[in-house]
Each structure stands twice: as C-alpha cells, then as structure tokens.
A and B are shown apart, each in its own frame.
Chain A
C-alpha cells in the first residue's frame, strides 16, 4: 500500500462522511446502490461511516460522471483508457468517465465478466474510494489499489494490503472480526488479454 505525499487523511472530527451524486447525471437507484456497496466495503474495516445525502454542494464526497474536460484539468479520454480519478482527503471529489460501458449488476462475482469492453462499476468505485480515504496506488498486483484493471474483470474484495493501508490511516473497525485474504499470486504478468 502507499499514501499520497504527506499522508493526508480525513481529520478526527470528520469520520462520519456524507456522499452525494451530481444531480445532472440523474442516476438510477440501481447505479447509486453500487456505490453504497463499495463504501460499505471500506466501512467494514475502518471506524469511518458513509451516509448518502442529497445536497451535492455540501457533501464531504461528491460523485459525478463526466466526459472530456470537466473542470479539474484532468479530462477524460473515452472508453477503455482512463476510467476514473479521485482526489486525496479532504477534497472528496470522485469523477468517473461517462463514456465507459459501465456494468452495474455485479455480474461475474469476483472474476471475469463476459464482455471485455465493459467495465465493472463497483470495482472502479472501490478503488477510487481508496483514494478518497488517502491511499495511493499499490504495487501489490491483485490488490484493490493496483493502478490497472484488466478488461472485463470484476475485482471488489479488499485484500490484506488494502486493509493494512487504510487501517494505518484510521485504525480498525472495533466491530470487525473478519479476516482478509492476501491478493492472488500470479506467476504471469497481466498482459491485458482477457
């Protein structure tokens, strides 16, 4: 695991975080529920809580789907390249590329989905929430915070590396007694073929 320079994190008086969706996206409840599941994965292992609110302009975390240039100097580039980006704490901006073919059903369990040109939304959401909490990219292949995701792949379960990283920043969830599996070891490098 790694952190942003200076190890920024949400301050102690802001551990019950709110999130909201850009109303211009008019997202369905099904899409919003994907993010709820993604936040729950991080809440399970930290003392943080995440509550959905309607006030986009004042929420701690603001989520939006955009195409091309969208005001932060980091334009999106179309399908199957840069999928999303998120800012370090306590900024809370979470942007996703609106031109991707997002799959929202959780198809494929924790494995492959049937079409390589589709992107599993929950996989990307779990990764970007890691950034929102202060984690950088990990060099541990198979971890959630690894920078790339193979096409047609669904990867949503936090690994030991991800949990250790976020718990370094915030401590553990006193109500969590589960364990995390280490990331899958792979002898062959990810080649992008699926």
Chain B
C-alpha cells in the first residue's frame, strides 16, 4: 500500500487503520498490581514481545493477573520512556504503549538496551516520587 501522499489513501483503508487493537489497552487505565483484569494477558504479550517480560518469567503462561512480573515490566517501560515510574497502568503510560513503533525489542535478556550506550544511573528518592538522573560519558 504505497501512496504519493496521504490524501490519496482510500477512505476505507483509513477506517481499517483507525481500528488499532492496541487501543483496547487504554481500557486498562488505572489497573494496578494485585488484581485481575479480563484480557490483561494481551498486554503481557505486548510487553513480552518488546522484551519487557523475559521468556523465562512466563513460560508461555499468560494470565489476567496483574502480578509482579507485569509490574516489573511496566516499571521498566516507564523508565525507558522517562515516564513517572509507578508500576501502575496510568493514562500516560498506556497512551505511549499504543503508539505505532518499531518491532525491535527495547529489552534483551532482561536488560534495557536503551541504556547501553550512554550509561544512565537512576537513584529513586524513596517515597518522594522523584528521580535523579546522571549520565556518565
């Protein structure tokens, strides 16, 4: 499907493209660890695809439980995209998740590749919700 410009795209194709199944993830806004939500396993599959959940952690067993595995994945995602690290599926995090993206993983073998060039060390100020970043060149 190649078009010289966007106005040349047939309207019916635009409608198909609008129905992005990732948008259903927005229904999980506010979900947090310790509870169970219908369809949450699909979000786990998303995080697994991009490396945030290692193969070994799930062994193919995707449940709808918001467990520590998913919480860790959400926190790593939030760190990578420099969002507030809460471990909760807040609105800003999910609006990021549904953006079209490259299929290459952000995390390999449990380590974020997004931090491999410039080494970034993050110190969390416990209980203050603040983060201090320093970059080593």
Contact = CB atoms under 8 A, between A and B. Distances in A.
Interface of A: 1-5, 27-28, 30-31, 74, 76, 78-86, 98-105, 107, 113-115, 117-119, 121, 124, 127-128, 131, 136-139, 141, 147-152, 165, 168, 189-193
Interface in B89-137: 92, 95-96, 98-104, 106, 108-109, 111, 113-118, 120
Contacts of A98: 1
Contact of B6 (A74, A86, A103): A103
Nearest to A97: B103
**How big is the B interface, by class?**
35 or more
Nearest to A127: B102
A137 B109 contact: no
B6 A31 contact: no
A1 B13 CA distance: 35
Contact of A101 (B17, B81, B111, B115): B17
A83 B4 CA distance: 18
Contact of B17 (A79, A82, A84, A138): A79
Contact of A139 (B4, B5, B115): B115
A7 to B, nearest CB: 8
Contacts of A104: 2-4
Nearest to A168: B117
B20 A1 contact: no
Contacts of A76: 103
B115 A189 contact: no
Contacts of A137: 80, 102, 104, 106, 113-114
Interface string B1-20: 11111110100011011101
A121 B101 CA distance: 13
A136 B114 contact: yes
A117 B99 contact: no
B21 A81 contact: yes
Contacts of B2: 27-28, 30-31, 102, 104, 121
A180 to B, nearest CB: 16
